[in-house]
Amino acid sequence: MNRKFHFLLILVIFQSCFVPVRRDYLGFSPALAFNNEKKWLINDLFSDLTSVQREHLDRKILAEFNYLSGGKAFSVAEAKSKNLLPSNISYTPNETELENLRTNTDFDFLVNVRTVQLRDEVSTFELNKPLQYSKNSAFALLEVYDLKTGKKIYYQKAFSEMDLDRQQNYPEISTENANRNLQENRNKGPFFTYSASSLSIKNLKKILKDIDKKAVK
């Protein structure tokens, strides 16, 4: 009996926490080209996550691009420590900033990454449906600029959400007891969801996995 209960609980959690991720490449190629001659500058993650989460993701992003580029990826902090970078970099660089990077550094590409929590209204564990429609949603965005041309060459946005509809209740005077009981059961949990911060992290990891899968070497 205990094994059956545990199996059903795991199944419920898995089904409740399956989250489709919607991607948008904004018309750019979904594949990034890598070789051992090009140098990548990885900007600090711009995010509303905690400092611990940001630091973890910064390391993960750098490690992924280091792997794909054959060790030619550098963080902003590392570039500054080696006097390879004159100043901080904007997350929305204009033509002047890109030109400064081109003329004052030997980097070939700039990688900007950010995550945004849009709505965070549902706790990760709910015993019942909320009294009103509630949703958690977030997105991650990764862009690459070619510093030799000053043009954006890659864009990927990953968006995901989880929601719970509000409770639906039949009037007490209703004689449709069977329908009412069915609806009451639908209002009962447990319901498992990802928080907005977890969705942010999940989206970014999906982007990195997609880049790795489609990388041209």
**In this predicted model, what pLDDT tens digit does every residue of 9-63 receive, in sequence order?**
443 444 445 688 999 999 999 999 999 899 999 999 999 999 999 999 999 999 9
Please check the confidence at residue 156 and state whether its pLDDT lies above 90: yes
Q: What is the pLDDT of residues 52-85, one digit of tens each?
A: 999 999 999 999 999 999 999 999 988 888 777 7
Contacts of range 56-64, beta carbons closer than 8 Å, 24 or more positions apart:
57/113, 57/115, 57/201, 57/204, 60/205, 60/208, 61/111, 61/113, 61/204, 61/208, 64/208, 64/211, 64/212
- What's phi and psi for 153, nearest 5 deg? -120, -10
pLDDT score at 131: 55
Which helix (H) or strand (E) is 163 found in, with range? Answer: strand 151-164
Where do we find the tokens 């070619």?
146
Tokens representing residue 202 in the block: 């999940």
Average pLDDT, integer, range 145-167: 88
